[in-house]
Amino acid sequence: MTDAAPRIVVLVSGRGSNLGALLDAGLPVVHVVSNRPQAGGLALAARHAVTSTVVDHAAFPSREAFDSALAAAIDAHAPTLVVLAGFMRVLGDPFVQRYAGRLVNIHPSLLPAFTGLHTHRRALDAGVRLHGCTVHFVTPTLDHGPVIAQAVVPVLPDDTEDTLAARVLEQEHRLYPAAVRWCLEGRVRVDGLRVHVRGAEFPAFGRCVPSPA
């Protein structure tokens, strides 16, 4: 990252719970952009005195046109890092390459397992014993960028999609601010698909335990 004061632009589509975790952690979020005018994350930004912009994807004739407008809204705030927090649009390759090394996402599974949507349901259907979340750099291949950090939770015998999602979300709110801070502090180095974090202590995010009999 640069020597200038760090600046984060956060992209949201929904309620913005991970945005809230970033704000509560005191990270330098300078602007929020949403593709949905009614996204709860916009109200959350306002409560924290953070400015916001709506770039409604439905108003554009193509993904390319939307991505171009989205990039303009981001670049107006000269961010050090662009952080996806429940942003539910697939971004085109030119957009992703524009922010290469500066575009970070959190995904509700232990990537590369369960890329895409409905991760908690699919984890239960697959009968896995461990589930969790992943912070990663965004690349043109969906949900396959270099992994910065992961948090693990057990899948319990009586779990439903909702209970498992809630347990994972709790870990997301702990993991994401820590990983974003490492990026801003220049501790993160990418070597191919491997990420090295210099001088950062990895807290015990989640628990790795076998499911009870």
Neighbours of 79 (CB within 10 A): 21
What is the residue whose two structure tokens read 């390319």?
64
Q: Quick check: is 118 catalytic?
A: no
Name beta bridge partners: 10: 32, 83
Rounded to the nearest 10 degrees, how much is the dihedral formed by the CA atoms of 4, 29, 181, 134? -130
Exactly one of 31, 48, 77, 107 is catalytic; name it. Answer: 107
- Sequence-distant contacts of 58-66: CB under 8 A, at least 24 apart: 63/90, 63/92, 64/92, 64/94, 66/35
For residue 84, give the 3-state DSSP assignment. strand
Q: Exposure pattern of 146-172 as b/e (b: 16+ CB <10 Å)?
A: bbbbbbbbbbeeebeeeebbebbbebb
Q: Under 8 Å CB-to-CB from 44, ≥6 apart: which residues? A: 15, 16, 19, 20, 23
Q: Which of 71, 66, 100, 106 is nearest to 87 (CA)?
A: 106
Q: Among all residues, which ones are annotated catalytic?
A: 107
